[in-house]
Structure formats: C-alpha cells, structure tokens
Amino acid sequence: MPVIDLRSDTLTRPTPAMRRAMAEAEVGDDVYGEDPTVRDLEARTAELLGKEAALFVPSGTMGNQLAIRCQTEPGDEVLLHEASHIALYERGGYALLSGVTLNPIPGAGGLFGPDDIGARARPARLAALGMYPPSRLLAVENTHNAGGGTVWPMAGLEAVAAAGREAGLALHLDGARLWNAAVALGLPPAATAAPFDTVSVCYSKGLGAPIGSALAGSAELVSKARRFRGLFGGAMRQVGVIAAAARFGLEHHRERLAVDHERAQALARGLARHDVFEIDPDRVATNIVVAELRGIAAAELVEAAAAQGLRFLAMGPSRLRFVTHLDLADEAIDEALAIIGAILPGFRRKPS
C-alpha cells in the first residue's frame, strides 16, 4: 500500500537530480577548509541571508546551540518563546553545552511582542547585585514549528528585535524554516534575517536535502562557531557530497515551497469540513497544519489512519500535526482527506 506521510518535511528523500549532484560533487577535507562544495554552499547561504559568513553544520539543533554558545557565557539567560524548538526539542542542550538558563515568554502561535522583552530582560545592574542571571540573548523562531508554521509579520519581528537591542541583548533567529517564511511573506530571505546577529537555517526540511543546516552571522562569530562546532563533534571531512544536496535544494527547491503552502491550505480546508476538527484554514500560513480534535483521542485517529496508509502526528491528547513537503504526489492531499473521511464514521464521539 502506498503511504502518504504527513508527519514532517524532514522525511523527504533526495530527488534523482539531487542524487546526481551528490555523486558528482567536488570534495576536500572540510576541517582544513578545503572542501570546495562546502565553501561554495556557505558563501551562497551567507549571501542569501545578507550575512558576512556561514558555517555548514550537521543539524539545526547544532546551529542553534552554536549560536547560544558563541553569544553567552555560563550562567547567562536566554529569552525565547515558551514553545520554541530550543526550549522543547533540543534535549536541554542549552544547559549542558552552554550552561545557560531560559526565560520563557508566552504568546499565541509562537509570537510575542516588544513589551514582553522589556518586562523580562534583566539589566546588568541587577545581575551585578548577585541575585539574577544576566539576560544575554533573545532567540526568535520563524516559522514557528509548535505554533503551526506561524510566520512573523515583518513589523512585529523588527519591533521585537529593536526591543531586544534596547535591552542590550544579542539576537538569534532560529530559521529552520526561514525559507518558508520568506516565500510566505514574498520577501528575500535576507530581509527576514536582517535584524539578527546570527541565523540558523535548515536544508533538510522544505528544501529536501538528506542532512544539513547552517549558522550565519558576522565573520567573527562564524569563526568562533567553527571552533565550537569541532568541540561539539560536528567537524566533518569530505562533506561536499552532502553540501551538494543542500546547494541543489537552495537552487531548485526554494520557489516551489509555495506549492507546499497551497497544499497545506487545501488540507486545512478539507479538515474544516468535518466538525470533529477545530481549525481555521485562514491561519495556515506555510506548510504546517495543526488541528484540535473534538471528542476523539488524537492517538486513536493517528493509529486508524496509519492502518490505511496515511501518517501524521499526535502532539498531545487532542492535537494533530500535518506537514506538506516535496515528496507528496499532486493527488496526495485529496487522497489523505478521503482516508480521513472514510475512517471518521468508525469513531464514537466522546464528550468534549
């Protein structure tokens, strides 16, 4: 049975053309800075993000953790949304690798406002009294994964960044899906990255590469990150075979992200036709669809759908997540909705 997999955009496989690019990649020892494909990818990524330099790393988690390590000292504090990827899904790396604590900010859909920064940032004078950790870094996620692929409006992003600057904070953008945000906003990636000192981006999500991310920023910060990448075990050798896939994704798969967004909206509209789903299709901005279930346990619906060849995720007792990506056939969304429509009558609604 063919499987329609909507669990994540990390599940994509390299296209035949991407595999050819990998097989034909020119390589060298990247620890010595001698892999030409990696150097080209880093230069292209830095250019797209409007930064001086970029560093190729194995994962988005490593990119974020390098940004924290390079811009904080042990005992410092990082401000970020309470449901950010750094807070929820990076295995507590901020504490182990950098020795920092988090000051979480609430906000609908992963967003918050400039007033939240002023209310939480601890000035150096308070830290000097010996009672508080000094606030050192503000981390923003765009798009926001747990928020349902939320895109930060540019005005809100710039206002939050300005508040962070005023509070004396360094600024990091977790842009694992920044390519999606830029397409949704109709802006170049550099525009969304501009307010930040460092930016992490992923090649292995919407762009379809099998592995890889990057951290971009000033030449000085990236040089510092290169040292810590090796310390964290992320230094690689003839890694051009992987960088070639990332470069192919940058060149050929960015513009088509709009297709993923359209499919996610179509999926949301189809789900909204069933009263068991609590979802507003107008709030689906990119390739992630989050829906609440009424009267049905999320895990039970996930299991029933999987038995019919449709996969998606339960993100709690009543919350579901679906993610569109380039591995889906044109008819996949219609088929997914048909499967859901066929299995729903088998569930006896529980009081919600």
CATH number, domain of 145, equals: 3.40.640.10
Write down which residue in 252, 273, 308 finishes a domain.
Answer: 252
Query: Among 230, 252, 274, where does a domain finish?
Result: 252
Q: What is the DSSP letter of 133?
A: P
Distances (CA, A) of 82 to 10, 49, 167, 216, 340: 23, 26, 19, 24, 32
Together in a domain, 328 and 230: no
Res 289: pLDDT:
97
Q: pLDDT averaged over consecutive 10-residue blocks of the chain (352 residues)?
A: 92 96 97 96 98 98 98 96 97 96 95 93 70 92 95 97 96 98 98 98 97 98 97 95 98 96 98 96 96 94 97 95 96 97 82 53
Tokens of 58: 């194995």
Chain-centroid distance of CA 183 in Å reads: 14
Q: What is residue 131's predicted lDDT score, i.e. its pLDDT?
A: 76
Question: How many CA atoms lie within 13 Å of 165's alpha carbon, on the beta-carbon side?
Answer: 9
Residue 306 and residue 202 share a domain: no
Q: Is 252 exposed, middle or buried (0-12, 13-18, 19+ CB in 10 A)?
A: middle
Tell me, yes or no, whether 240 lies in a domain.
Answer: yes
In this predicted structure, what is the pLDDT of residue 323?
98
Q: Are residues 248 and 261 in the same domain?
A: no
Residues 292 and 211 in one domain: no
Give domain status of residue 29, yes or no: yes
135-141: strand order across its sheet = 53-57, 213-217, 198-202, 170-175, 135-141, 77-81, 101-105
Residue 352 lies inside a defined structural domain of this protein: no
Among residues 232, 252, 272, which one ends one of the domains?
Answer: 252
Q: Do 265 and 132 fall within a single domain? A: no
Query: By the 8 A CB rule, do 79 and 94 touch?
Result: no
The β-bridge partners of 103 are 79
Domain containing 265 — which CATH number?
A: 3.90.1150.10
Global pTM? 0.95
pLDDT of amino acid 118: 87
Confirm if 221 and 199 have CB atoms less than 8 A apart.
no
* Cα(119)–Cα(181) distance, integer angstroms: 27
Q: Which domain holds residue 91?
A: 12-252
Q: Which SS3 state, helix, strand or coil, does residue 48 take?
A: helix
Q: Work out the angle between the directed axes of helices 332-343 and 257-272 (0-180°, nearest 10).
A: 20
Q: 196 and 216, same structural domain?
A: yes
Is residue 154 in some structural domain? yes
Domain-located, residue 49: yes
Per-residue pLDDT at 261: 98
How buried is 65 (Cβ within 10 angstroms: 0-12 exposed, 13-18 middle, 19+ buried)?
buried
